[in-house]
Structure formats: structure tokens, C-alpha cells
């Protein structure tokens, strides 16, 4: 008997203190590196993009991987790469925590466009506004004591 799955996540995390250290001209290299991490974990990357202080990863999650391990492994490996690559000299690390939001496969094309158009989207909405909106849209109560700290 075969097993089937469709586990679609949008994962969002930011740089430590939301410092704008992910330079646009080098971000594609970071995205390629993260794509390699996902391939090694047998996860399909639908889209990755971001801004100077945060990234969005739209990916399927292989059932053999726990979400917390997935996020930790991406952040740990990419942090080491970011510091060693020399492309992001001001990067000091990722902030603790992340958002992992689940979606229906019906939403996939809309989400791919959303992640693809981050630069355009952030002309009218700050990262803090976007992050709060995404959490609230998913019914997540924001604890102000910890929000973006």
C-alpha cells in the first residue's frame, strides 16, 4: 500500500533584530543554498524569496521530517553559510523562532505569486505589518511580549 501526502507550508523567518543584512544582489545565492537543503531533505521548494530582513519559503514537507527540525536545520545551515560565504558581511544570525503556516493545495498558485512578488508587496506593507497579518489570518493570537523580540 502506498502513502500519500500533501503538506504545504509557508515558512517565514527574519534576521536577528530584523537587521537589513540580506543584500538584494546576493540573495539569489542564499536561495540556491536553501534550495539545496530542501532537496537533501526530500522536500519540494515551490518558491523562495525575501527582503533585506526576512525570507519566505513555500515548500512541501516530507513526512519523515518534523517541522521544528526542518526549520532549525534550514536556519542553522544557512546561518553558517551566510557567515562563511563573505557575501553578507553584516549578517549576525537569524532571530529565534519562525512562522510556519499551512495551506491547502488549492492556495498554492496564489501563494507562489505572493512569495514571488515580495519586493512589490513590501512597497506598501512593512515586514512587521505583514507578519502580524499572516499570523492573524491563521488565527494565531500574537503575544505582544514576544512579538518580533
Q: How high is the pLDDT of residue 142?
A: 87
Domain residue ranges in the chain: 8-137
Q: How high is the pLDDT of residue 22?
A: 97
CA distances from 28 to 51, 106, 123, 131 (A): 11, 27, 20, 22
Q: How does DSSP assign 69-97, residue by residue?
A: HHHHHHHHHHHHHHHHHSS-TT---BPS-
8-137: CATH topology? Alpha-Beta Plaits (3.30.70)
Strand-pair partners of 135 = none
C-alpha cell recorded at residue 13: 523567518
Tell me 146's DSSP state: T
How far apart are alpha carbons 31 and 33 in whole angstroms?
5
User: Pick from 73, 21, 15: which is nearest to 43 by CA?
Assistant: 73
Q: How high is the pLDDT of residue 29?
A: 97
How far apart are alpha carbons 62 and 5 in whole angstroms?
8
User: Pick from 43, 68, 50: which is nearest to 12 by CA?
Assistant: 50
**DSSP H or E stretch at residue 55:** strand 54-60
Q: How high is the pLDDT of residue 3?
A: 76
Q: How high is the pLDDT of residue 143?
A: 83
- Give, for all 149 residues of the chain, the pLDDT tens digit: 677 778 899 999 999 999 999 999 999 999 999 999 999 999 999 999 999 999 999 999 998 899 999 999 999 999 999 999 999 999 999 999 999 999 999 999 999 999 999 999 899 999 999 999 999 999 998 888 878 77
Tell me 52's DSSP state: S
C-alpha cell recorded at residue 110: 496564489
The DSSP bridge pattern shows strands 54-60 and 8-14 to be antiparallel
Tell me 106's DSSP state: G
Q: Is the pTM of this model over 0.75?
A: yes
Amino acid at each position: 500500500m502506498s502513502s500519500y501526502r500533501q503538506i504545504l507550508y509557508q515558512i517565514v523567518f527574519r534576521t536577528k533584530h530584523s537587521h537589513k543584512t540580506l543584500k538584494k544582489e546576493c540573495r539569489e545565492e542564499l536561495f540556491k543554498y536553501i534550495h539545496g537543503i530542501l532537496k537533501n531533505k526530500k522536500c519540494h521548494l515551490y518558491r523562495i524569496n525575501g527582503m533585506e530582513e526576512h525570507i519566505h519559503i513555500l515548500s512541501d514537507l516530507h513526512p519523515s521530517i518534523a517541522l521544528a527540525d526542518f526549520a532549525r536545520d534550514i536556519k542553522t545551515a544557512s546561518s553558517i553559510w551566510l557567515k562563511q560565504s563573505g557575501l553578507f558581511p553584516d549578517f549576525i544570525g537569524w532571530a529565534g523562532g519562525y512562522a510556519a503556516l499551512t495551506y491547502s493545495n488549492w492556495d498554492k498558485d496564489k501563494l507562489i505569486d505572493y512569495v514571488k512578488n515580495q519586493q512589490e508587496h513590501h512597497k506598501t506593507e512593512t515586514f512587521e505589518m505583514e507578519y502580524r497579518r499572516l499570523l492573524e489570518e491563521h488565527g494565531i493570537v500574537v503575544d505582544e511580549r514576544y512579538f518580533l523580540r
